[in-house]
Amino acid sequence: MNEARWHPTLTLLPDGRVLAASGLDADGQTVPGASEVYAPDTGTWSKTLAHAFPTYPSLFAAGGRKVFYSGANAGYGPTPRRGSEVGLWNLKNSAFTPVGPPKDPDALENASAVLLPPAQDHKVMLLGGGGMGESHATTSRTAIVDLDDPHPAFRQGPPLPQNTRYLNSVVMPDDTVFTTGGSTDYRGRGASDIRTAQFYLPAADIFVPAAEPTVGRNHHSEALLLPDGRVAVFGSDPLFSDKANSRPGHFEQRIEVYSPPYLFHGRRPHLKLKGSSDINRGDEIAFGLPDAAGIGRVRLMRPGSVTQGTDFDQRSVALDITRRTSGSLTVHVPDDPALVPHGWYMAFATNVDGTPSTAVWLHVRPSA
């Protein structure tokens, strides 16, 4: 690369190139504004137009050579002030168009941000967050922005059960978002880990409780959707190990696996791929499915690539059902590289009761 970068964000662009933004250099200083783009066809890096972000900025490819920054970040470097740096970044000319800021714009460090399902809705949700560095400030704020709006602005969503930073959010096959963990203070200081979990239901715009985790999770924690529909939760790097903050913390090595309620609603659909797992955008894909008549939705879900509670690559793409027989289902893959970046995906079929199949892995080829 042209610059040493610690804590950068990598964003796959619709044309197959990779944008590397932000980070700290070899001396621990914020990398000057210039980002870099990797071209896989030539194996080369080139600098792009400058825009400064804090480390691990939550960047979402928004189509049309634009990238959306929700404000969520991992700290270090320039931090948004009153939401002025939340908005759409045009990679053609580096123009930055601010988006109406969320509530509590000074509490965006270690916030969670997720592209709500299905990805075709182009809605991004921001959840929780805290003040800069070792600040005690945290927020229960959630906010949602519709990037299809001619003048996008965050609207307030339902609050989290309590003020939370380091929250993990996972897009689920039934079009819900599972959120878990976090703490109310910096790196769990003062025994402030939150041992609760909940689902956000986008259709109803509400949170509903989920089973409580037994292990606290804060800094350096992760949560991933598994191909069988469960969620693996791991990591955490607390600053201290006691409420009095008198003993150093230790990295959490226990893993918990959460089984959502949809796994206990009856028989699961059985999905079997007919044909190759290598597909192109615009293809029709046939699946063998004995109970095809009862399928309500099919989703192409990009697997998580999470670090430090930040995961901006996951997405759930709705696949239109084009044919249905008693034993098979045919779906259409959207022909839009901004919506379906190339790479591996999990395909889930969910029945009308909300119970998903086990995933079938599919590989979307890069554009020729």
pLDDT for position 78: 62
Preceding omega of 118 cis (within 30 degrees of 0): yes
pLDDT at 64: 80
pTM (global) more than 0.75: yes
Alpha carbon distance 46, 278 (integer Å): 30
- Closest to 69 in 3D by CA, of 83, 59, 81: 59
User: How do strand 112-115 and strand 123-127 relate by DSSP bridges?
Assistant: antiparallel
The predicted structure's pLDDT at residue 48: 79
Residue 101 near residue 86 (C-beta atoms within 8 A): yes
pLDDT at 188: 96
Question: Which residues fall within 8 angstroms of residue 357, CB to CB, at 6 or more apart?
Answer: 268, 269, 270, 271, 348, 349, 350
pLDDT of residue 79: 55
Residue 212's pLDDT is 97
Give the chain as a 3 state SS string: CCCCCECCEEEECCCCCEEEECCECCCCCECCCEEEEEECCCCEEEEEEECCCCCCCCEEEEECCEEEECCCECCCCCCCCCCCCCEEEECCCCCEEECECCCCCCCCECCEEEECCCHHHCEEEEECCECCCCCCCECCCEEEEECCCCCCECEECCCCCCCCECCEEEECCCCCEEEECCECCHHHCCCCECCCEEEEECCCCEEEECCCCCCCCCCCEEEEECCCCCEEEEECCCCECCCCCCCECCCCCCCEEECCHHHHCCCCCCCEEECCCEECCCCEEEEECCCHHHEEEEEEEECCCCECCECCCCEEEECEEEEECCCEEEEECCCCCCCCCCEEEEEEEEECCCCECCCEEEEECCCC
Q: Are 150 and 162 in contact (CB under 8 A)?
A: no
Tell how strand 315-318 and strand 343-351 pair up.
Answer: unpaired
Q: Which residues fall within 8 angstroms of residue 293, CB to CB, at 6 or more apart?
A: 324, 326
Judge contact between 182 and 192, C-beta under 8 A: no
Question: Could you tell me the two tokens for 283?
Answer: 């293809």
For residue 191, the tally of other CB atoms under 10 A from its CB is 16
d(CA 56, CA 76) in angstroms, rounded, equals: 9
Strand partners, 90: 66
State how far the Cα of 144 lies from the Cα of 137, in Å rounded to an integer.
Answer: 21
**Residue among 174, 179, 171, 198 at smallest CA distance from 353:** 174
10 DSSP β-pair partners: 20
pLDDT in tens, the chain (368 residues): 988 899 999 999 999 999 999 988 888 887 767 789 999 999 999 987 778 888 899 999 988 889 999 999 998 776 555 445 799 999 888 888 999 899 999 999 999 999 999 999 999 999 999 998 899 999 999 999 999 999 999 999 999 999 999 999 999 999 999 999 999 999 999 999 999 999 999 999 999 999 999 999 999 999 999 999 999 999 999 999 999 999 999 999 999 999 999 999 989 999 999 999 999 999 999 999 998 999 999 999 999 888 877 788 899 999 999 999 989 999 999 999 999 999 999 999 999 999 999 999 999 999 86
